[in-house]
């Protein structure tokens, strides 16, 4: 078993091997994802939406991210674990950014961090990278900037996106997430930079793909974006189990003798 590192991801791009990535927020799902051979596990600030029931990622705190990243890291043996830097953990100053990025490695067992933004965050990427922490950039639809973007909208400004990708690469990012970008633009970006691009709602031509776990497993019953293919319907199965349990308790059918200790 080869442990996935930033070097392995770079080699996968060179060898044209697609990178599989998924989000995870807890021990059981992180273990399943790792054992199923997923290469990169992102402890996303999407925890705010799919676990905490928030309508955006903005309320998520550093302490919450450290908690989730620590329990994910404990489960993962092969994949690279990336901790997502939450809103206001890196925007106010480079010092904050480096110290908060460091917490993901020092306290939570991550091997890298991700932050949102292109050209505007290059100095921050450089500072974190200079502290010995690999950084994954995230351009296109960046949910932490929802109020600046005027909603969760596909980003179509080709020149700006190409420039953002080039700049984050020059700043030392080891990879870049492309979110909510038309396929032909992602294709151009992926062909124009040496680091792996990981797409979400960005078409087939990225070097890898990422989805939010609760969307693709059918756990999230709220709004699911069009690009989030559902591979199974876990919420349906869970509801069936819970409904049967309630019915059996009410009918005095559970617990049966096989679930009962005798004297
Ligand atoms: O927080 C998250 O889950 C993410 C992915 C959508 C890339 O940033």
Query: Residue 1 domain-assigned?
Result: no
Confirm or reject: Cβ of 140 under 6 Å from ligand 1: no
Q: Are residues 208 and 252 in the same domain?
A: no
Residue-wise pLDDT tens digits, 158-198: 999 999 999 999 999 999 999 999 999 999 999 999 999 99
Q: Identify whether residues 40 and 72 lie together within a single domain.
A: yes
End-to-end CA distance of the chain: 49
In this structure, are 248 and 177 located in the same domain? no
DSSP the chain: -PPP-HHHHHHHHHTTPPEEEEE--SHHHHHHHHHTT-SEEEE-TTHHHHTT--SSSTT--HHHHHHHHHHHHHH-SSSEEEEEPPTTSSSS-HHHHHHHHHHHHHTT--SEEE--BSGGGHHHHHHHHHTT--EEEEEES-GGGHHHHTSS-----HHHHHHHHHHHHHTT-SEEEEES--HHHHHHHHHH-SSPEEEESS-TTSSEEEE-HHHHTT---S---TT------HHHHHHHHHHHHHHHHHTT--S-GGGS---
- Structural domain span for residue 239: 234-263
187 and 247 share a domain? Answer: no
Per-residue pLDDT, 3: 98
In a domain, 174, yes or no: yes
> Domain check: are 162 and 257 in the same one?
no
Give yes or no for residue 212 CB within 6 A of ligand 1: yes
Q: Which of 40, 71, 214 is nearest to 136 (CA)?
A: 40
Indicate if 150 and 240 belong to the same structural domain.
no
Proportion of the chain above pLDDT 90, given as a percent: 97
- Average of per-residue pLDDT across 71-86: 98
Query: Is 70 contained in some domain?
Result: yes
Is residue 193 located within the same domain as residue 82? yes
Same domain, 239 and 209: no
Q: What is the CATH number of the domain that holds 179?
A: 3.20.20.60
224 plus 149 within the same structural domain: yes
Mutational test site, ligand 1, from 26, 50, 57, max ligand atoms within 8 Å of CB: 57
Nearest CA owner, ligand 1 atom 4: 44
Residues labelled catalytic = 179
Beta bridge partners of 198: 177, 208
**Do 166 and 59 share a structural domain?**
yes
Per-residue model confidence (pLDDT) at position 223: 85
Instruction: Say what the pLDDT of residue 47 is.
Output: 98
Among protein residues, the one whose CA lies closest to atom 3 of ligand 1: 44
Q: Cβ(175) to ligand 1 under 6 A? A: no
pLDDT digits (tens, 9 = 90+) for 4-62: 999 999 999 999 999 999 999 999 999 999 999 999 999 999 999 999 999 999 999 99
Name the band, by pLDDT with cuts 50, 70 and 90, for residue 211: very high
Q: Which of 46, 51, 135, 197 to mutate to test the pocket of ligand 1 (most atoms within 8 A of CB)?
A: 46
Q: What is the number of domains present in the chain?
A: 2
Tell me if 23 CB under 6 Å of ligand 1. Answer: yes
Task: Give the model's pLDDT for residue 5.
Answer: 98
Q: Is residue 118 assigned to a domain?
A: yes
Q: What is the mean pLDDT of residues 146-162?
A: 95
187 in a structural domain: yes
222 pLDDT band, cuts 50/70/90, is confident
pTM metric for this prediction? 0.97
| Per-residue pLDDT band at 224 (split at 50, 70, 90) | confident
Whether 130 shows a pLDDT value over 90: the answer reads yes
């Amino acid at each position: 078993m080869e442990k996935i590192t930033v070097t392995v991801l770079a080699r996968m791009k060179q060898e044209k091997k697609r990178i599989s990535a998924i989000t995870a927020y807890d021990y059981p799902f992180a273990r399943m994802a790792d054992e199923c051979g997923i290469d990169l596990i992102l402890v996303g600030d999407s925890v705010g939406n799919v676990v905490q029931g928030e309508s955006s990622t903005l309320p998520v705190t550093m302490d919450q991210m450290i908690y989730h990243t620590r329990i994910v890291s404990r489960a993962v043996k092969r994949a690279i674990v990336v901790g997502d830097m939450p809103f206001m953990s890196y925007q106010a100053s480079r010092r904050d950014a480096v110290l908060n990025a460091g917490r993901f490695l020092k306290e939570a067992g991550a091997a890298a961090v991700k932050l949102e933004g292109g050209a505007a965050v290059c100095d921050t990427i450089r500072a974190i990278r200079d502290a010995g922490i690999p950084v994954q950039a995230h351009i296109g639809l960046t949910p932490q900037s929802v109020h600046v973007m005027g909603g969760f909208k596909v980003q179509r400004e080709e020149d700006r996106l190409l420039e953002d990708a080039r700049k984050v690469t020059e700043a030392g990012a080891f990879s870049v997430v492309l979110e909510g970008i038309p396929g032909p633009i992602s294709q151009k970006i992926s062909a124009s930079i040496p680091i792996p691009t990981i797409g979400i709602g960005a078409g087939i031509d990225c070097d890898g793909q990422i989805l939010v776990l609760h969307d693709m497993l059918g756990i999230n019953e709220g709004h699911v974006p069009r690009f989030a293919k559902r591979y199974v319907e876990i919420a349906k199965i869970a509801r069936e189990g819970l409904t049967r349990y309630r019915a059996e308790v009410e009918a005095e059918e559970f617990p049966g003798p096989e679930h009962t200790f005798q004297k």
